[in-house]
Amino acid sequence: MEREKEREKECESGVVIAPARQDNQNEQNVRNAQDGQNGNVRAARHEGGPHGGGESRGHALAGILGPAFVAAVAYVDPGNVAANITSGARYGYLLVWVLVLANVMSVFIQYQSAKLGVVTGKSLPELLGERMSDAGRFMFFMQAEVIAIATDLAELIGGAIALNLLFGLPLFVGGLIIGAVSTVLLLLEGGHTQRLFEKLVIAMLLVITFGFIAGLFIDPPDPLHVVQGLVPRFTNRDSVMMAASMLGATVMPHAIYLHSTLVNDHYAGGQEKPSVPRLLHGAKIDVAWALLLAGTVNLCLLILAANSLHGMSGTDSIDGAQHAIVTVLGPTIGTIFSIGLLASSLSSTSVGTYAGSEIMHGLLRIKAPMWACRVVTLVPGLVVLWFAPNPTEALVIGQVILSIGIPFAIIPLMRYTHDRQLMGDWTDGPVSRVFFLLIAVLIIALNALLVVLVLCGEA
């Protein structure tokens, strides 16, 4: 009887166990089949199969590019235009090497900002806001907002001067028009229209490029003189100060803050992000091409002035430089230059306000409407245009304020990209760390020198 009961238990166990084993086997077969199908899909995408076309649209390299081109607008703003033309008109090709060095540094800095945003999924202002006290966040925001206002001041003045040169409009009226048009452009920022915003800014960047280099086709420079300008040297104390101002003002604080935001806003509207390695690879290419374009524009401006305006007086202001270009190269090139200046103002003032909005959001956790941020940065510029007898002096003051704000952006960026707990496997290595440190020390020292010289009345 006991043996029969044991057999019945075994049979009952067998009845229960057998189907379970069968179910497990079936599930394993389904998983194997799914893995095979997924493998085939991945292979088809990799090989450019009929469904993949190489890679999905959002993950293709072309879909990753764009953020750096928006940030690069900061490097071809009216302040840079004035500095480069002044340098070329005063010293010829002497300081070509300064612009080349500045562009190398800017490529590294902007990539570091992009990497921070890609790896953490947060912007530099957001990370600062998470790690600071309430009082610290407010104080940091106040200095960053002053920087945003100073940035917009230069862009607004440049645009007002451009409209004055093109249509004879008073500077204040020109400032109002620039403010209105840039506000409309800003309404496209964010969400499903973010890519359209990027495309419009890139289009204006191309207009800037053509507008500022057209003169070189009319009066080509001597390549040998350009190459000689790559040799580091100075002629006098004033050339040292000019180099300090050019090199020290290259890396713009708002471009550093904004780039860490742009790499994430690029996928706004629920778009799927590629993997971190893929994004970092795309960011390297994006930054290299964007900053190469911006650096080329700046270099062409300096070469244009060195070749056509060297030794001429009155070129230490934007309108004076434009009149000199008209005198030497003709009214057509002068008009094209003014159009490039106008595009530079519209794009850079939009990007500057965009940066100010993200700084407020990250530090104060307030997502203010873009038009409100536009008003905050626009009003001080309009006041300056109404009361300032010489807008160029206001540009100089704005550049000094920007110089003061650079350490507040560079030092936290350098610290965070070296934080293994924050960056994980993408933490800066020893070589990148040392290179970053050298760049930071050089830029901060040159900006400190520039501020001291200006305050002493020697620059």
User: CA-CA distance, 8 to 207, in Å (whole number)?
Assistant: 88
Q: For residue 298, what are its two tokens?
A: 């700046």
From residue 3, alpha-carbon distances to 15, 63, 411, 453 in Å are 18, 73, 82, 105
From residue 51, alpha-carbon distances to 43, 228, 333, 359 in Å are 11, 53, 49, 41
pLDDT greater than 70 at residue 15: no
Ranked by mean pLDDT, the top range of 72-76, 227-231, 364-368 is 227-231
Q: What is the pLDDT of residue 120?
A: 96
Q: What is the pLDDT of residue 249?
A: 64
Q: Does the model's pTM come out above 0.95? A: no
pLDDT greater than 80 at residue 285: yes
Q: pLDDT of 249-258, one tens digit each? A: 677 888 999 9
3-class DSSP state of 181: helix
Average pLDDT over residues 334-363: 89
Which is more confidently placed, 21 or 200?
200
Average pLDDT over residues 197-212: 88
Q: pLDDT of 371-415, one tens digit each? A: 788 888 888 888 888 887 677 667 767 767 777 888 899 999 999
Average pLDDT over residues 224-245: 86
Q: Which helix (H) or strand (E) holds 191?
A: none
Q: What is the pLDDT of residue 242?
A: 81
| % of the chain at pLDDT higher than 90 | 39
Which of 36-40, 140-144, 264-268 bottoms out in mean pLDDT, i.e. has the lowest?
36-40
Which is more confidently placed, 133 or 241?
133
pLDDT greater than 70 at residue 26: no
From residue 226, alpha-carbon distances to 58, 119, 161, 238, 359 in Å are 41, 40, 30, 21, 40
Average pLDDT over residues 334-344: 93
User: CA-CA distance, 247 to 268, in Å (whole number)?
Assistant: 34
3-state percent helix, strand, coil for the chain, nearest multiple of 5: 80, 0, 20
Q: pLDDT of 30-84, one tens digit each? A: 444 444 444 433 333 333 333 333 444 444 666 777 889 989 988 888 888 888 8
> What is the CATH T-level fold of the domain 66-455, as seen in this structure?
Amino acid/polyamine transporter I (1.20.1740)
How crowded is residue 409: how many other Cβ atoms within 10 Å of its Cβ?
24
pLDDT greater than 60 at residue 126: yes
User: CA-CA distance, 112 to 118, in Å (whole number)?
Assistant: 10
Question: What is the residue whose two structure tokens read 């270099």?
Answer: 299
* CA of residue 283 relative to chain centroid, distance: 12
